[in-house]
Amino acid sequence: MKKLALLTLISLTTSFAGFAQNKKKQDAAAIKKMCGCFEVTFNFAETFNYSEDSLYKPSETKIDKGLEWAQLVEDDKNKISIQHLLQVGPPNSPYIVKHWRQDWLYENTDFYMFNGDNTWNFVTKPKAEVKGQWTQKVYQVDDSPRYEGSGTWVHVDGKNYWENTTDAPLPRREYTKRSDYNVTTRGNRHEITSTGWVHDQDNAKVIREAGKADVILAKEKGYNTYVKVADSKCKAAADWWVKHQEKWALVRNKWDDIYGRNKNLILEEKVDNKPLYKFLFDEENYSTPEKINPVIESFVK
């Protein structure tokens, strides 16, 4: 009987390990479906406000469209990295803008959690808490941190999606116009669809002050659709990446060094009255480690 029980246990363990490995492959396949050329529509609307100010004005509804190339940068056993590039202007003479980057890490335990005012707190989670999960780490256009969170990819009833709620800086469309809140609590849902994928968001605009409870100023709905089109439409962006990928690998390497310090991170908003991306987007003057590393370090407090 003991031998039979042992054999049964071994069989069950092997079956579970096989299931977990197949699930991981299914997750990775879903993530990589976010690569390619997409016609994107960005939709944001403030839905509710809780301000006690009778003169409070909600943000205007924002709808934008664009063509975006999502380039697979890294595809390893436990990491998938995707760089987004916007392709704007006329098709015969487009302009390429380096956009956001998303890294997906399997069963990651180390996090930089945004805490307002250009501060990210380093947090380590227990392995049991992230078992079977993927962390999405989202980076700014200059590869500095933005937000990150862990969740389980779900594949059920023909749906493939991942969800997480985490704190983030204000989006660009807001921080140039709003100073009455300092944290966006993002409810993120990434769902793979028959035509591409959707980034569905339920966000809260939060006022955070040390020693006080968070105050929700307003709620916001975001619904960004990525409709897959022929990769040839994004040829200019794909070509741009081939030309510039080595320089941006140097930038990522420097940031990896900073993240590897495993301590709270506070960044300057500007140095010499310029944000970091304006230095790094200067391809002519910032293309070597000798130039890149010091300027990134100058933003770390």
Nearest to 64 by CA among 87, 86, 41: 41
| 166 backbone φψ class: left, alpha, beta (φ>0; ψ -120 to 50) | beta
Determine whether domain 27-232 maps to CATH 1.10.287.
Answer: no
Please write the tens of the pLDDT for every residue from 50-88: 999 999 999 999 999 999 999 999 999 999 999 999 999
How far apart are alpha carbons 201 and 271 in whole angstroms?
A: 32
The predicted structure's pLDDT at residue 12: 47
For the chain, which residues make up each domain, given as ranges?
A: 27-232
The predicted structure's pLDDT at residue 97: 97
The predicted structure's pLDDT at residue 20: 80
pTM: 0.92
DSSP 116: S
The predicted model gives 163-175 an average pLDDT of: 96
Share of residues in the chain with pLDDT > 90 (%): 91
In this predicted structure, the answer to whether residue 108 has a pLDDT above a threshold of 60 is yes
Q: What is the CA radius of gyration of the chain?
A: 21
What backbone torsions phi and psi does residue 285 show, to the nearest 5 degrees?
-100, -15
Please write the tens of the pLDDT for every residue from 248-283: 999 999 999 999 999 999 999 999 999 999 999 999
Q: What is the mean pLDDT of the chain?
A: 94
How far apart are alpha carbons 41 and 19 in whole angstroms?
A: 36
Please write the tens of the pLDDT for every residue from 174-214: 988 999 999 999 999 999 999 999 999 999 999 999 999 99
